[in-house]
Chains A and B, each alone.
Chain A
Amino acid sequence: MADVATKIKLYLEDNSKTWDAEKNNILIQDDSDGNGAYIVTWSVSGLAKPSDSQLAAFDTAGNTKETLDATLAKRKTEYLSWEEQLDKLYHDINDGKLDKTGSWYTHIKAVKDANSKG
């Protein structure tokens, strides 16, 4: 089952809102009591707090989004730091390999291929 936070993001987008714009107006909390996360504060202008059934409607889409987010997050950690990527580009330029044979391109492609968006 998708996280409550993920389903809320989709609910916002479905109503022409964005999480980045509204995240300070929403507080989601999990008291670790087995009852899961719930909305503590909802102060989104012009949009009512979603009901449980409204959130449940986004469960499938939420699972898809979380899978994609996890893939992107994994890519981010495997791309290496910007210093290391710049060093690869320097060597590629120095070696005349600023093409698909260079070390930077082959590394980035390997990360993307290993973490497909599906």
Chain B
Amino acid sequence: MAYVGTPIDTTNQFQSLQGKRFSGNGSTTAFTLDVAPTSTLDIEVFVENVRQDPNSAYSLSGTTLTFAAAPASGTNNIYVIHQAKAVGTITAGAGTVNADSFDNTVISGHDALAATPADTDEFLISDAGTIKRIDYSYIKASNTPNFDVRLSSNFGLTNDTFVKVTWDSETFDSDSAFASNKFTVPSGQAGKYLFMAHYKIGNSLGYYTFKYYKNGSAVSGMDRNIYNYANSDNDFSFHHNAILDLSASDYIETYVQTTSGSGNNVYSSQSYWQAFKLV
């Protein structure tokens, strides 16, 4: 005959009821339990095999069981059985814990970190539907790579010629990605970068054109052309910003052209080129 009714649970492991024995001496009223019951009704207390009234014969404070009157002398003549203690552990089946199983205390019930996580602290994410853990280092907004380079001396320009500026003095270079007068996107660092070049130019009247070169060619639409109206009493400064979407191994350089004749410079004082990864 087929089995009728709820199948026997063969998955979960149940534990035995817990008990404790004491020996009375006619004077001691307080005994220490291994587990703190929630209520006097959660335990059964026997003295000389006589069940004690949970409403009057004893009281509880944490793990301390205190009798209203000292039990008589006898070896192991007092015993306590915990009836309300958890007696089994249910293991949830794989894939059966869903959003309805949680409430906000899953988060709010834990201590707040209240500090910037360490790079190796982990978060849970859904990677296209698969739960994975990820280190904080992968998701923090570090804005690296970044660099700041300068000129160690005035940089001479050639009339009507686009000349690559040789930024030869590094202030910082987070990923050692700036070398040989160009910035090269490191492996794994593709993304959008903000480039900021500031040029202090001499006092020659004329047009100056500033270009960003990507992989050896001018980046279309990212050049600037400006006329210097400065006279002999004024120098001329120009700021050239650009956001470029770059892939790994792409490299960026800066070129400047003047139409102001010979002898013009990008001055080392106040000229710089900086960049950092946005996202």
Q: Which residues of A contact B (CB under 8 A)?
A: 3-6, 9, 19, 23, 27-33, 37, 40, 66, 69-70, 73, 76-78, 80-81
Contact = CB atoms under 8 A, between A and B. Distances in A.
Contact of B161 (A37, A66, A78): A37
B164 A76 contact: no
Contacts of A76: 205
Interface of B: 158-166, 181, 203-205, 231-232, 255, 260-263
Given A69-B261, A81-B231, A29 B255 contact: yes
B212 to A, nearest CB: 14
A9 B160 CA distance: 10
Given A5-B158, A28-B161, A30-B163, A70 B255 contact: no
A31 B164 contact: yes
A12 to B, nearest CB: 12
Nearest to B263: A70
For B160, B162, B260, B262, the residue with the greatest tally of chain A CB atoms inside 10 Å of its CB is B160
Contacts of B163: 29-30, 32, 37
A67 to B, nearest CB: 9
A3 B203 contact: no
A73 B231 CA distance: 12
Given A32-B165, A37-B158, A73-B261, 6 more contacts: A29-B163, A66-B262, A70-B262, A77-B204, A77-B231, A81-B231
A10 B232 CA distance: 29
A4 B160 CA distance: 9
A31 B205 CA distance: 24
B160 A77 contact: no
Given A70-B261, A77-B203, A77-B204, A28 B162 contact: yes
Contacts of A73: 204, 260-263
A36 to B, nearest CB: 9
Given A32-B165, A69-B261, A70-B261, A78 B232 contact: yes
Contact of B162 (A23, A29, A66, A70): A29
Given A6-B159, A66-B262, A32 B203 contact: no
Contacts of B161: 3-5, 28-30, 37
Contacts of B232: 77-78
Contacts of B162: 27-30, 40
B203 A5 contact: no
Contacts of A77: 203-205, 231-232
Contacts of B262: 3, 66, 69-70, 73
Contacts of A33: 164
For B158, B260, B263, the residue with the greatest tally of chain A CB atoms inside 10 Å of its CB is B158
A32 B166 contact: yes
8 contacts: A3-B158, A3-B161, A28-B162, A32-B163, A40-B162, A66-B262, A73-B204, A77-B204
B139 to A, nearest CB: 39
Nearest to B217: A40
A30 B255 CA distance: 9
B181 A28 contact: no
Nearest to B232: A77
Query: Across chains A and B, which 5 residue pairs bring their CB atoms closest together, nearest first?
Result: A5-B160, A32-B164, A73-B261, A30-B163, A28-B161
Contacts of A81: 231
A27 B162 CA distance: 8
A23 B261 contact: no
